[in-house]
Amino acid sequence: MPPVTLEKRNGIALLIIDNPPVNALGHAVRAGLAESIRAAEADGTVEAIVIASAGKTFIAGADIKEFNAPPQPPSLPELLAAIDACKKPFVAAIDGAALGGGLEVALTCDFRLATPASTLGLPEVKLGLIPGAGGTQRLPRLIDPAAALSMMAEGNPKTAEAAARLGIVDEIIPAENLLDVAVTFARQRAAEGAKRRLSERTPASAERAAVEEAATKILKKRAGEPQVEAIVRCVRAAFEESFKDATRLERELFLQLKENERSKALRYAFFAEREAARKPQVAEGAAPRPVKQVAIIGGGTMGSGIAIAFLDAGIATTVIETDEAGASRAAERISGNYQSAVDRGRISAEQKEDRLSLLKTEVGLDKVGQADLVVEAAFEDMAVKREIFSTLDRIAKPRAVLATNTSYLDVNEIAAATARPEDVLGMHFFSPANIMQLVEVVRASATSDETLLTAIATAKMLQKTPVVVGVGHGFVGNRMLARRSEQVDRLLLEGASPSEIDAALTEFGFKMGPCAMGDLAGLDISWRMRKATGRRAPAADALCEAGRLGQKTGRGYYLYPDASRKGVPDPEAETIIQAAAEREGIARRTISRQEILQRLIYPMINEGARILEEGIAERPADIDVIWLHGYAWPRWRGGPMYYADQMGLATIAAELERLSTDQKDESLAPAGLLASLAREGKGFHS
Ligand code: 3H9
């Protein structure tokens, strides 16, 4: 089947794009469209041309995979120039997503019809790009230019209804009638001689001031994002230059940005997310079980957050506590959370009530009742968890999925407390669970395919990003994070200040550094864990022993004067750390920002390599997605394993060798996989 077919109906040429899965504008589609347009133009019996698509997407935009190779003609701008030069009117019949180049095709047409479920947008900014086929010029010539600027800078698609309100869509048409209506519509417009080429318009100069006002805000908020600056430049050019000159500028900037490392990393992240979302290896015919009722064991911060995620997805949820007081605290926590969402205007009071009507808070494990899925979010203690699972084994309904939200513990051992380990697995949510996207789905050795698929489908139903991982202390994310935390403590002892450590990571692109984050979460959490597992972090331990537990005690790594949330450097913390360094016999020195950064990140990458070797994560992309969605790794840096490839594994291996010798720590030496890839001159992804 050719990717573009031309059919004639009643004097109208109907061009149908059929390029699964999402009708991306790859080379074959561009060539097919160009050929069909030439044929329709040359055919004297054709009065107008309708562009439509097969499948559930109109056009997802340019084929992003092609961006890494030299473009093959016709380029999208060349194709759209051919539409612009054609004398016959064009109608875009949009059913599904019209994104990026897809919307640019529609904007080049004279008229746009869309079905109610369609979405329209220019999301290029999220890939570190700008609309590169006239979008920056046609949109501000069609709608309020300030609104066009915001739409391109944010990159979020609009619903058909919102797009119609903005003036992007001319009419909304029920899906079942779209093609018939489009053909009739095209005939009428042709008969009227109606054409609306946006390239022939100029944006209303009265709107210029509003554009400047919007531009100032956007540039301030999005400083350092070259694609956002480029969008602003192009919209300004729409007022100052001819369509031809402004589109030339747009093309130049697009081609420059396409080669930018930030855009490459953002494009990698897009595909890594899709790769991680792919169905894991399971037996043929294995399918998820339906999940309609859920029970959460434990209504603390984590359990309540998980409950909110389920309630938001419209799923009946019972939160189970050990006593009445705990149950009412959980109910208050959840309804308080919804109330603050109402106060901030995020949801309506009705939505709050709807969600809360799905919630029950109960006392006693026997209340799991007929739950299809039980998520245990109790205290992080093996004995507690085993006890809960052995009770669940007796009382949960047959074939209910039994998930533990443990962050570190051995899921095999938890599963062994039941006589149905095939139904047990880990669903490791991240705090706050109603907001953080990641769920590590921990496949234990006896977990059945059905159980695994049910957990994955459930996480997707919650609009979360599930990544399948294997059993091992801290799974993937926390296991890597532990290596970073070790270095934080060591760096503090060696002379780096908390602000220097945090600055190394915020300059790298993280929103928050590890010391500020530790203070926010409470330093006692990891202190307790270290004590339980016989580990030490001399600097952090000393701070905790001095009662400095973070923001909640007004002091931690930093001082928080007058209950402020912004920490300031504190000489007292420095003295405590210095004394700890002396006790450890560690000489203090000035440490460069670059050394700090490498020591925070390279040991984590090394641990990632071990995780791959051990099969705890299947692909490097899985690790990257875990860091993007669970630990706020800067998206424009791709993820730790992607970043490693950009740095070069040989460089990282050499640095790890040095660290391992300096710190007399064998575990810092390059992992086998990292060392062998480095020797072969390869990366994790090659
Ligand atoms: C652009 O247009 C530049 C122009 O301005 C200028 C050019 C000169 N290309 O997301 P899904 C694949 S930049 C190639 O799971 P959904 C995707 O990898 C582009 N492949 O489905 C996956 O493959 P696989 C601006 C693409 O239903 C499969 O399709 N456009 C593209 O959840 C299914 O994807 C965008 O940024 C693509 N453009 O969501 C839109 N898009 O099965 C990007 C998807 O092998 N796309 N694939 O894993 C999307 O936002 C979503 O894919 C969409 C469908 C909403 C369309």
Average pLDDT score, the chain: 97
41 is catalytic: no
Residue with CA closest to ligand 1 atom 22: 274
What would the pLDDT profile of 674-686 be if each residue is shown by its tens digit? 999 999 999 999 8
441 neighbors 469 (Cβ within 8 angstroms): yes
- Closest ligand 1 atom to residue 77 Cα is 8
Closest of 682, 485, 504 to residue 593, by C-alpha = 504
97 Cα: distance to centroid of ligand 1 (angstroms): 10
The percent of residues above 90 in pLDDT, for the chain, comes to: 96
Q: CB within 8 A of 628, min separation 6: which ones? A: 269, 272, 273, 635, 639
Do 562 and 608 belong together in one domain?
Answer: no
Instruction: Decide if pLDDT at 637 tops 90.
Output: yes
Question: Does the residue 94 lie in any domain?
Answer: yes
Residue 541 alpha carbon to ligand 1 centre in Å: 48
Residue 351 falls within a domain, yes or no?
yes
Residue nearest to atom 11 of ligand 1 (CA): 274
8 A C-beta contact, residue 255 and residue 157: no
Domain end among 552, 576, 591? 591
Find out whether 492 and 501 touch, Cβ atoms under 8 Å: yes
Q: For the sheet with 90-94, list strands across it.
A: 4-9, 12-17, 48-53, 90-94, 111-114, 171-172
Could you tell me which of 577, 576, 633, 584 has the C-alpha nearest to residue 604? 633
Instruction: Yes or no: say if 104 and 110 are a contact pair by the CB < 8 Å rule.
Output: no
Atom of ligand 1 nearest to the CA of 57: 56
User: Could you tell me if residue 280 is inside a domain?
Assistant: no
331 and 426 belong to one structural domain? yes
Closest alpha carbon to 673 in 644, 647, 646:
644
DSSP readout, 662-686? HTT-GGGSPPHHHHHHHHTT--TT-
On whether both 564 and 627 belong to a single domain, the answer is: no
Asked whether the beta carbons of 373 and 458 are under 8 A apart, the reply is yes
At CB < 8 A and 24+ separation, what contacts does 378-386 make? 378/297, 378/298, 378/303, 379/298, 380/406, 380/407, 380/408, 380/409, 380/529, 382/409, 382/410, 382/413, 382/414, 385/409, 385/414, 385/417, 386/413, 386/414, 386/417
Ligand 1 atom having least distance to the Cα of 135: 5
Q: Over the stretch 466-483, which tens digit does the pLDDT of each residue have?
A: 999 999 999 999 999 999
With a pLDDT cut of 70, the percent of the chain lying above it is 100
- Spacing, Cα 112 to ligand 1 middle (Å): 21
Please write the tens of the pLDDT for every residue from 49-106: 999 999 999 999 999 999 988 889 999 999 999 999 999 999 999 999 999 999 999 9
Rama region for 23: left / alpha / beta (φ>0; ψ in -120 to 50; rest): left
- What CATH number should be reported for the domain holding residue 520? 1.10.1040.10
Looking at the structure, tell me whether residues 34 and 111 fall in a common domain: yes
Is 642 a domain residue?
yes
- Per DSSP, 588 falls in state P
- Burial label, 617 (beta-carbon count in 10 A; 0-12, 13-18, 19+): buried
Residue 177 Cα to ligand 1 middle (Å) = 26
Which segments within 420-522 are labelled E, that is strand? 424-429, 438-443, 465-470
What DSSP letter does each residue of 516-565 carry, written as one string?
HHHHHH-HHHHHHHHHHHT---HHHHHHHHTT--BGGGTBSSSB-GGG-S
Measuring from atom 33 of ligand 1, which residue has the nearest CA?
A: 21
Q: How far apart are CA 623 and CA 626, in angstroms?
A: 5
Is residue 533 over pLDDT 90?
Answer: no
In a domain, 330, yes or no: yes
| 253/129 same-domain check | yes
Q: Are residues 503 and 360 in the same domain?
A: no
Task: Find tokens 């560690």 and name the residue.
Answer: 586
Instruction: Exactly one of 7, 47, 104, 618 is catalytic; name it.
Output: 104
Whose Cα sits closest to atom 17 in ligand 1? 274
Q: Report d(CA 487, CA 540) in Å as an integer.
A: 12
Atom index in ligand 1 nearest the CA of residue 130 equals 5
3-state helix, strand, coil split of the chain in percent (to 5) is 55, 15, 35
Among candidate residues 454, 436, 452, the one with its CA nearest the CA of residue 444: 452
Report how far ligand 1's centroid is from the alpha carbon of 24 (Å): 7
CATH of the domain at 468: 3.40.50.720
Residue closest via CA to ligand 1's atom 27 equals: 22
26-59 confidence digits (pLDDT tens): 999 999 999 999 999 999 999 999 999 999 999 9
> Closest Cα to atom 24, ligand 1: which residue?
274
Residue nearest to atom 23 of ligand 1 (CA): 274
- Determine the pLDDT at residue 374: 98
For the CA of 64, the nearest atom of ligand 1: 9
Which pTM value belongs to this model? 0.95
Claim to verify: residue 72 and residue 169 sit in the same structural domain: yes
Instruction: Count up the domains in the chain and report the number.
Output: 4
Distances in Å between the alpha carbon of 541 and those of 527, 544, 556, 628? 6, 5, 11, 29
CA torsion sign for 208, 211, 213, 219 is negative
Ligand 1 centroid distance, CA of 65 (Å): 9
CATH classification of the domain holding 662: 1.10.1040.50
> Which residue minimizes the CA distance to atom 5 of ligand 1?
131
Centre of ligand 1 to C-alpha 126, Å, is 12
Q: How many CA atoms lie within 13 A of 6 on its CB side?
A: 18
Cross-strand bridge partners of residue 121? 99
**Model pLDDT for residues 278-337, shown as the tens digit of each residue:** 889 899 999 999 999 999 999 999 999 999 999 999 999 999 999 999 999 999 999 999
What is the signed CA dihedral for 598, 601, 604, 609, rounded to 10 degrees?
A: -80
Structural domain span for residue 500: 478-591
Q: Are strands 48-53 and 12-17 parallel, antiparallel or unpaired?
A: parallel
Q: How far is the CA of 387 from the centre of ligand 1 (A)?
A: 46
**Best mutation site among 64, 68, 79, 464 for ligand 1, i.e. most ligand atoms within 8 A of its Cβ?**
64
Provide long-range contacts, Cβ within 8 A and 24+ apart, for 83-86.
Answer: 83/37, 83/108, 83/109, 84/108, 84/197, 84/199, 86/37, 86/40, 86/41, 86/49
**Tokens 């934080």, located at residue:** 488
Same domain, 111 and 69: yes
Q: Do 280 and 468 touch, CB atoms closer than 8 A?
A: yes
**Residue 563 confidence (pLDDT):** 83
Q: Is residue 639 part of a domain?
A: yes
Atom index in ligand 1 nearest the CA of residue 104 equals: 5
501 and 519 co-located in one domain: yes
Which of 17, 19, 22 is the pocket-test mutation for ligand 1 (most atoms within 8 Å of CB)? 22
Is residue 419 a part of any domain in this protein?
yes
Q: Are residues 509 and 646 in the same domain?
A: no
SS3 239: helix
Residues with CB under 6 A from ligand 1: 21-22, 24, 57, 60-65, 76, 97, 99-101, 104, 123-124, 127, 129, 131-133, 135, 271, 274
Residue 383 belongs to some domain of the structure: yes
Radius of gyration of the chain (CA): 28
CA of 191 to the centre of ligand 1 (A): 37
* Ligand 1 centroid distance, CA of 87 (Å): 31
Structure tokens, 376: 């245990």
| Structure tokens that stand for 365 in this block | 């494990």
* Known active-site residue 250: no
Out of 258, 277, 307, a domain closes at: 258
Of 559, 591, 623, the residue at which a domain comes to its end is 591
The neighbouring-strand residues paired with 158 are 120
- State pLDDT tens for residues 5-31: 999 999 999 999 999 999 999 999 999
Measured from the CA of 76, which atom of ligand 1 is nearest? 8
Does 531 share its domain with 415?
no
Determine which one of 66, 78, 124, 261 is catalytic. Answer: 124
Which protein residue's CA is at the shortest distance from atom 56 of ligand 1?
60
Identify the CA nearest to 505 among candidates 637, 350, 674. 637
Instruction: Give the model's pLDDT for residue 325.
Output: 97
pLDDT at 255: 97
Distance between CA 551 and CA 557 in Å, rounded? 9
> How confident is residue 662, by pLDDT bands cut at 50, 70 and 90?
very high
Task: Report how far residue 559's alpha carbon sits from residue 569's, in angstroms, rounded to the nearest whole number.
Answer: 6
Task: Please give the number of the atom of ligand 1 that sits closest to the Cα of 22.
Answer: 29
- Whether residue 1 has pLDDT greater than 90: no
The interaxial angle of helices 301-312 and 349-356, nearest 10 deg, is: 110
Q: Do 240 and 108 share a structural domain? A: yes
Span from the CA of 57 to the centroid of ligand 1 (angstroms)? 10
Atom 40 of ligand 1 has which residue's CA nearest to it?
60
Q: Whose CA is nearest to atom 46 of ligand 1?
A: 60
